[in-house]
Chains A and B, each alone.
Chain A
Amino acid sequence: MDQASIIIIMVVIVALPVVMTPVLMYICRISDRLRNGLAILTAAATFILTLLLYPFIRDGGVVQQSLFEILPNLEISIHLDILSFSLAALASFIWLLCTIYSIDYMAKEHACSRYYPVLIFTLGACQGIFFAGDLFSLFVFFELMSIIAYILIIHEQTEEALKAGYKYLVMTIIGGLALFFGIIIVFEIGGTVSLGVGVIIGEPSLLALIAFICFLIGFGMKAGMFPLHVWLPDAHPVAPSPASALLSGVMLKTGAYGLIRVVFHVYSVDLLRSSGWNNILAILAVITILLGSAVALTQTDIKRRLAYSSISQLGYVLLGLSILNNNALTGAVFHIFSHAFMKSALFLAAGAIIWKTGIRNINDMKGLGRLMPVTMGSFSLAALAMIGIPPLNGFLSKWTLALGALDAGMPGYVMVLLISSLLNALYYLPIIIPAFFESPEGEEINDHGDEGSHEVLFKIKEATPLMLSAIVILALCTIFFGLTPNNIIFSLSRLTALFLLGGGSF
């Protein structure tokens, strides 16, 4: 494929969901089925279009193209490299599954005419973030996605949701202002914010440090980095489950993506290493990992526990990024994928449980494995992957991260990873084990009025096939991409790390 058609495809990938948003809003009035179909079709088309870029990427191709000049030297531009492709493909894949899952899940909910357009619009904004060719475009799409995602978070419109949403919005604005500050400093120092020029800031200075901290605040806020994670445990649980899956599975990663871009395209790796600024990120990442895992232990609401777990898992990615060597970066990028599969599977499974039984409290989940074997099975698979049991993908990412830490001569980080895995085990196993090995409590089963006989105990109450298919596909991904390091995603991650560390070539 030549450059021109690549650029057209990229623009279509971003524009298609955005254009479909008003169409969906209009179609909502005509037919619900048409709307659902169209939403799935849009997500699927985005995914397929993204995959079309693969042959170009595999050969190490890079596209940088300015589209429209907003201000002198400040433009909306697009950029494609292996990292953009990896994340865009991941995002559209998870989006597709979540949209499919939504069809049945949201059927009972109110205001679907608002939900689907927003869901599809955020997909477009998210792809825009990954394809942005300069920090300013990145900022524009980042803010667009963050603010529109607010509507997903407060979908239920309960008091609690509105409160969590307000916290989210204020944090988003603070993060946005920090990004604005950082970008303007970069613009002032380098005269450009494009990602295509390699390194913008080569000399350490006070302003450069301020900008780095601003980027940490802006993107770290989105990635749930300590101490800016406060919005996350409130916002993720209150959203509808497919939206939670997207928030945790994909949207958090935009923060990590932004930081990767800042580390490799704004500052030079040498600058960060010699000035030791990457240690700021490392320290925050370690605190994030330990704190997220520890607090998750104390939560009894399943979605809140998953949300805290997300905080700690994103800490792995940030830690891998801060080590700045090949293995660690491979692990970080691979963990972005792993976590997306695992956490989306977990949130969707939890959503199915809540949808079918209304149980949110972990202590009430005894015996659920017998009622919903497929859902609970997928949940367990994803949870085991979280803990890092081989041969699941969580193990592979942690292993690679640990290798990277050892390469850098930092055995302490390996300890952190081990402690966190232990904590993961401590908070996931008490969900899984009682679910399969204890009997359900009596009153939970009697609500169909079947006299509480013993047969009813084992009556399967699974969610609908559409929902299950989304959950199962994600759960299978955790095995499929974890069995051996010879899978496509791991090699993509490895190439990405080589690409970034090599300054734009393999």
Chain B
Amino acid sequence: MESAGHQPVLIIVTLLISAFLSPLLYRWRKFLSGMVLLAALTGAFVTALTLLGQVARSGELSYYLGNWPPPWGIELVIDPLRVYMLLVVTGVSLWIFVYALRDLEHELHHDVIGWYYSLYALLVASMSAMTLTNDLFNLFVLMEICAISACAIITIKDKRECLEAGFKYLIMSAMGTGCFLLGVAMIYMVTGYLNFSFIQTGLAAALSEYPLNIFTAAALFIVAFGTKAALFPLHVWLPDAHASAPSPSSAMLSGLVIKIYAFALFMIFYRVFPRSLLDAIPLNEIILWLGAMGVMFGSIYAMLQTDLKKMLAYSSIGQIAFIFMGIGLDQPLALTGGLYHIMVHAFTKSMLFMSAGAIIYSTGVRRISDLAGIGRVLPIPLLAFTIGSASMIGLPGTGGLISKWYLALGALETGRIFFLLVILASSLLNAIYYMPIVINAFMSGDEFKEKVKTVPPSMQATLVVGILLVVISGIFSRQIIVLFEQALTSLY
């Protein structure tokens, strides 16, 4: 394995430094503070692109933090899947931040915006590091940073429902990290390593000797990541948290934060657990059934909502479950679908939350039934909403179809048509609750009654970019899928 340049750590350090600088600068020059973070995020994204180039040239790379070699030092690994995830994290957060620059002025008190920038940078830094790290304890620390900053971008909006939702989220995620750390202790006990690759060989050897320790650790990991990623039935904290947060935070939380934990679970399953463990106990089976139930219940709950952002939040529970189903089917095609859905849903749900945010920004309307005729006054946000809905349903030309296609192929390949039917049923349910909103917004005979403030151009532009991203992910997906196929066959 070759060693990389300093880019991986540069991404994280740049973001951490800007997390420190932004609130300071904000007191002096408000505009500059935002620009610093924007530059840092752009830098992170561009650096991630250069990493992609490196990986394409020379395969898997690793970076030793402080030049301490594993198993003692912390290792960052750069392989195709991680770089993909890193690109999604940095790219989507850059995109959301452009939107946030204007939207926050409306949602937050202007004193705290500097702090918001700081938390945002911390969140992105921790998520980027989580994609790259190859060390369990490092993962724990990053999870805690991520949890605190994710809660804080909810509670920063000084409204009572945000505070309560943030507290609920904090407690649930503290429980999750507690379970995770206990699991790490169990694994450390039997293997003596914290590095993913060393654990994998260690566990394979220790499995026959200490099966109970390892099984307990596996169960704890499922609970930990299930809670954090809102896997049914551990999703209870999500709707309040995602719905009450400021719109850019909702977009971040639904678009990226829950995905990063799903990705971490994927890493744990395929990079930490040896194949013999997955064969010994039906871990994938558990994830699969919970995922299938999440897909159905998330959609059913979403149908019952009257608040637009709450509906989107419940829909996230259904969509994240698709990713878990991909892991659960334990098959390269299904995993391809699940991993691709991470990106598709990051684009789609972030865009949906941003268009909901634009609606709230310009009219203050949150109730679904009050949206009649709004498409004629806010064409671009509602067009974005329409395309987002199409992707959720999985109509051709949007990314949603591609991920569903691969999940369905995976289900067929393993001979489990039932799960294919679950996927189709969820598409239908999505259609049933997304379509009336779109129809009502554009085609209703009523005129929109509320007063309308124009949406700033930068917000409109981000929505247009979102539309393009969703469509491009539905058409030009071949390269990414080929990359997945190569990377995933190495897992089996």
Chain A interface residues toward B at CB < 8 A? 69-72, 74, 139-140, 143-144, 147, 154, 157-159, 162, 165-166, 169-170, 173-174, 176-177, 180-181, 184-185, 187-188, 207, 210
- Taking CB atoms, residues of chain B closer than 8 Å to A165 are 439, 443
Within the complex, which residue of B397, B412, B431 is in contact with A170, where a contact is CB–CB below 8 Å?
B431
User: Is there an interface contact between A72 and B397, defined as CB atoms closer than 8 Å?
Assistant: no
B439's partner among A71, A166, A188 (CB-CB below 8 A) is A166
For A187, give the chain B residue with the smallest CB separation.
B409
- Which chain A positions have C-beta within 8 A of B436? 166
In angstroms, how far is the closest chain B Cβ from the Cβ of A20? 19
Give the nearest-CB partner of B415 in chain A.
Answer: A207
Contact A173 B409 (CB under 8 A): no
A140 contacts which chain B residues (CB < 8 A)? 396-397
Q: 10 interchain pairs (CB within 8 A)?
A: A70-B478, A139-B396, A143-B395, A143-B396, A165-B439, A166-B439, A169-B431, A185-B412, A187-B409, A210-B417
Please, how many angstroms separate the alpha-carbon atoms of A147 and B442 in the complex?
Answer: 14
Which residues from chain B sit less than 8 Å from chain A, CB to CB? 393-397, 401-402, 404-405, 408-409, 412-413, 417, 420, 424, 427-428, 431-432, 435-436, 439, 443-445, 475, 477-478, 481-482, 485
Q: Say yes or no: A71 contacts B481, CB within 8 Å.
A: yes
Indicate if the CB atoms of A69 and B478 lie closer than 8 Å. yes
Using Cβ atoms and an 8 Å threshold, which residues of chain B touch A180?
Answer: 394, 401, 404-405, 408, 424
How far, in whole Å, are A170 and B427 apart by their CA atoms in the complex? 11
Q: Provide the bound-state CA to CA distance between A139 and B396, in Å.
A: 8
Contact indicator A169/B413 (Cβ below 8 Å): no
Q: How far is the CA of A177 from the CA of B408 in the complex (A)?
A: 12
Distance A159 CA – B436 CA, assembled complex (angstroms): 14
When A and B form their complex, which 6 residue pairs have the shortest distance between CB atoms, in order from nearest? A140-B396, A173-B431, A188-B412, A177-B424, A184-B408, A143-B396
Which of A177, A185, A188 has the largest number of chain B CB atoms within 10 A?
A177
* Across-interface contacts of A147 in B (CB, < 8 A): 395
In the docked arrangement, what's the CA distance between A363 and B445, Å?
31
- Is the contact region of chain B dominated by helix, strand, or loop, or is it mixed? helix
Q: Establish whether residues B396 and A177, one from each chain, have CB atoms under 8 Å apart when the complex forms.
A: no
Assuming the contacts A72-B481, A162-B439, asked whether A181 and B424 have C-beta atoms less than 8 A apart, the reply is: yes
Which residue of A71, A72, A140, A176 has the most chain B CB atoms within 10 A of its CB atom?
A71
Query: Whole-angstrom distance between the alpha carbons of A184 and B477 in the complex?
Result: 18
A154–B443 touching, CB < 8 Å: yes
- Complex interface: chain A residues within 8 A of B439 (CB): 154, 162, 165-166, 169
Question: In the complex the two chains form, what is the Cα distance from A304 to B482 in whole Å?
Answer: 51
Query: Contacting B402 at CB < 8 Å: which of A71, A157, A169?
Result: A71
Q: Nearest chain A CB to B446's CB is how many angstroms away? A: 10
Residues of B within 8 A of A166 (CB): 435-436, 439
Instruction: Give CA–CA (A165, B435) in the complex, Å.
Output: 11
In angstroms, Cα B395 to Cα A93, docked, is 29
With contact pairs A71-B478, A157-B445 given, residues A173 and B393 touching in the complex (Cβ less than 8 Å): yes
**Is B396 within 8 A of A174, CB to CB?**
no
Say whether, besides A177-B427, A188-B412, A71 and B477 are in contact (CB < 8 Å). Answer: yes
Other than A144-B396, A176-B395, give 4 A-B pairs with Cβ distance below 8 A: A158-B445, A170-B435, A174-B428, A184-B409
**Interchain CA distance A139-B404 in the complex, whole Å:** 15
Q: Are A72 and B395 interface neighbours, CB within 8 A?
A: no
Q: Which residues of A contact B393 (CB under 8 A)?
A: 173
Q: Which residues of B contact A170 (CB under 8 A)?
A: 431-432, 435
Residues of A within 8 A of B445 (CB): 157-159, 162
B477-A70 in contact (CB<8A): yes
Instruction: Please indicate the chain B residues that have their CB under 8 angstroms from the CB of A177 in the complex.
Output: 424, 427-428
Min CB–CB distance A354 → chain B (angstroms): 21
Residues in A with CB closer than 8 Å to B424 are 177, 180-181
Q: B420 touching A181 by the CB < 8 A rule?
A: yes
Chain A residue nearest to B333 in the complex (CB):
A188
Q: Report A296 CB to chain B, min CB distance, Å.
A: 29
**Closest partner residue, chain A, to B393 (CB atom):** A173
Q: Considering the chains assembled together, what is the distance between the CA atoms of A158 and B444 in angstroms? A: 9
CA distance A305 to B420 in the complex (A): 39
